[in-house]
């Protein structure tokens, strides 16, 4: 059945888990990966596909081959984040398993995540281990085995630092509290998602899940990586890896995230410092023969500053709603210094981390 989001479809029959698969012009991915999703071995789940204003034949394909699946159709594509912003309030469930269309899942992918959430009511979100679809020996860029952030706001993962992705040799098999869970595929406690205000549409795409997880942590919820669940991600289907558009969103959205979520005492010095570091990065891009990427960084700063008042107003609302608390998964050193100066290219090489340690609270 195909519903239009604007009609407020009645999908509020409360299930334990709603697997919400976001699709945009994803006919080929759905044809390849949807049969795997339908084999999910988890009792009490339902599948809802959110079509984010596709212009290909996705809707016709689903109507013909999968008429039993509920499809929410969004008339206008306002970005990756908006796909979930519009659809999730229409879906009743205790947990949302958010999934992009370019992920292959084995039958047992969901059960370990649900079990972890059931065992710990303080958890707001958890993610599986994410391997690369095209070379399954390696972690995948977008989340690997759980996301962290350094003291200056640079995100990285267990299994991926900047563009260096590690081979999975079983080095991160422990269940671990982290700072953020990957937006490619993760399980959310619906109550926590709605309590902190859900995704921020200003992000459009990239880092929206880090911003959400930050607010969840500030509200007292934990974020966890559960490698007993494992999936395979193609990656780059929303915005192509290495594109100037990705550079733009990464730089702009990081500044928005810091402005919204940092405590006042840290924001007043960190924001100017981060912007200075960004300009150094911009100069490096220019000198290394990437003028378009340099332009994308400058554009990101210009658009951030133009909307700074709006982000400050959001910040005031967040502080009132989810006051700052001690956060887990923050690396207390500079990941930039460790990676580029000290040459430490993998998570396990970083000084000041706990290895292995099950359910350790911080790094």
pLDDT digits (tens, 9 = 90+) for 68-113: 999 999 999 998 999 999 999 999 999 999 999 999 999 999 999 9
Distance, C-alpha 141 to centroid of its chain: 11
How many other C-beta atoms can be found within 10 angstroms of the C-beta atom of residue 245? 15
Q: What is the mean pLDDT of residues 187-210?
A: 95
The torsion defined by the Cα of 185, 188, 190 and 192, in degrees rounded to 10, comes to -140
Output DSSP code: residue 180: B
Band of residue 5 on the pLDDT scale cut at 50, 70, 90? confident
Residue 201 has pLDDT above 90, yes or no: yes
Please give the structure tokens belonging to residue 336: 């930039």
Q: What pLDDT does 355 receive? A: 61
> Inter-axis angle of helices 244-261 and 264-287, to 10 degrees?
160
* Residue found under tokens 């969103």: 249
Band of residue 208 on the pLDDT scale cut at 50, 70, 90? very high
Please report, for residues 47, 166, 171, 353, the alpha-carbon distance to residue 349 in angstroms, rounded to integers and kept in the order given: 40, 12, 12, 9
Q: What pLDDT does 358 receive? A: 40
Q: What pLDDT does 6 receive? A: 63
Q: What is the mean pLDDT of residues 234-239?
A: 72
- The enclosing H or E element of 59 equals helix 58-65
Give the closest residue to 231 by CA, choosing from 63, 95, 112: 112
Q: Which residue has the higher pLDDT, 123 or 42?
A: 123
CA–CA gap between residue 213 and residue 223 (Å, rounded): 7
Give the closest residue to 146 by CA, choosing from 215, 203, 229, 263: 229
Which residues contact residue 149 at a Cβ distance below 8 angstroms, ignoring those fewer than 6 apart? 155, 156, 179, 180, 210, 329, 330, 331
For 314-363, the three-class secondary structure string (H helix, E strand, C coil) is: HHHHHHHHCCCCCCCCEECCCHHHHHHHCCCCCHHHCCCCCCCCCCCCCC
Residue 221 has pLDDT above 80, yes or no: yes
Q: Which residue has the higher pLDDT, 23 or 8?
A: 23
Over the stretch 335-344, which tens digit does the pLDDT of each residue have? 999 999 999 9
Residue 136 has pLDDT above 50, yes or no: yes
Q: What pLDDT does 2 receive? A: 79
């Amino acid at each position: 059945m195909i519903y239009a989001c604007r009609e407020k479809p009645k999908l509020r029959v409360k299930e334990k888990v709603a697997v919400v698969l976001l699709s945009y012009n994803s006919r080929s991915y759905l044809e390849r990966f949807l049969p795997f999703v339908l084999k999910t071995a988890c009792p009490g789940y339902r599948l809802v596909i959110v079509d984010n204003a596709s212009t290909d034949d996705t809707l016709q394909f689903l109507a013909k081959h999968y008429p039993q699946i509920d499809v929410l159709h969004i008339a206008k594509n306002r970005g990756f984040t908006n796909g979930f912003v519009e659809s999730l309030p229409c879906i009743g469930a205790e947990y949302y398993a958010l999934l992009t269309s370019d992920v292959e899942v084995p039958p047992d992918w969901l059960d370990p995540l649900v079990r972890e959430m059931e065992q710990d009511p303080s958890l707001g979100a958890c993610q599986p281990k994410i391997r690369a679809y095209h070379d399954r020996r390696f972690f995948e860029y977008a989340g690997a085995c759980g996301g962290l952030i350094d003291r200056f706001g640079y995100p990285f993962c267990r299994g991926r630092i900047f563009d260096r992705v590690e081979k999975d040799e079983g080095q991160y098999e422990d269940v671990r509290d982290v700072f953020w869970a990957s937006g490619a595929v993760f399980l959310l406690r619906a109550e926590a998602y709605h309590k902190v205000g859900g995704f921020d549409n200003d992000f459009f795409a990239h880092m929206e899940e880090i911003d959400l997880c930050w607010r969840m942590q500030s509200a007292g919820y934990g974020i966890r990586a559960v490698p007993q669940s494992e999936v395979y991600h193609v990656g780059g289907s929303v915005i192509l890896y290495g594109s100037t558009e990705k550079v733009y969103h990464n730089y702009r959205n990081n500044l928005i995230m810091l402005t919204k979520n940092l405590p006042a005492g840290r924001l007043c010095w960190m924001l100017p410092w981060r912007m200075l570091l960004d300009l150094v990065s911009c100069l490096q891009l220019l000198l290394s023969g990437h003028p378009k990427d340099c332009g994308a960084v400058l554009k990101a700063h210009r658009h951030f500053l133009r909307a700074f008042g709006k982000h400050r107003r959001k910040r005031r609302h967040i502080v009132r709603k989810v006051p700052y608390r001690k956060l887990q998964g923050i690396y207390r050193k500079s990941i930039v210094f460790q990676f580029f100066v000290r040459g430490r290219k993998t998570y396990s090489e970083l000084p000041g981390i706990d290895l292995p340690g099950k359910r350790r609270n911080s790094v």
